[in-house]
Amino acid sequence: MGPVNMRLVEQARSIFAELGYTVEGTGPEFRAERAWKVVHVNTVFENAELPSSSSTEQFHCFVAHPEDAADLENQLLSTNPSYEWAIIAVDGDDYQVERAPPGPRVSA
């Protein structure tokens, strides 16, 4: 992994705290928990290794700069990990969910 961008880490922690998650851990990888859901958060700065598909962790969220989001999404799509994943692009004080896990399927 490239150098850690602490500003991105702080922004990611703040986003999840504002969404009502309890944030645990320090550094570029941390855990966010709310009710029954545990999300493993990875802040991405330059090239990073993705968590393995054999991971027992169900939900991963990657927080990246907007210019890195498309490459990250392509990398995740090509590896097709077994976990649900999302990408949040952070630009200054603003952020946007670039890709969220699919919702529950509804049949009529």
Which domains are assigned to the chain? 6-99 (3.40.1350)
- The position carrying tokens 């504002």 is 18
Query: Residue 31 has what pLDDT?
Result: 93
- The position carrying tokens 């602490």 is 6
Give the pLDDT of the chain (108 residues) as one tens digit per residue: 344 578 889 999 999 999 999 999 888 899 999 988 899 999 876 556 777 765 566 889 999 999 988 999 998 888 888 888 999 999 988 999 887 666 554 444
Percent of the chain that is helix, strand, coil (3-state, to 5): 25, 35, 40
Tokens of 66: 């907007």
For residue 66, the number of C-alpha atoms closer than 13 Å in the C-beta half-sphere is 7
Tokens of 82: 């077994």
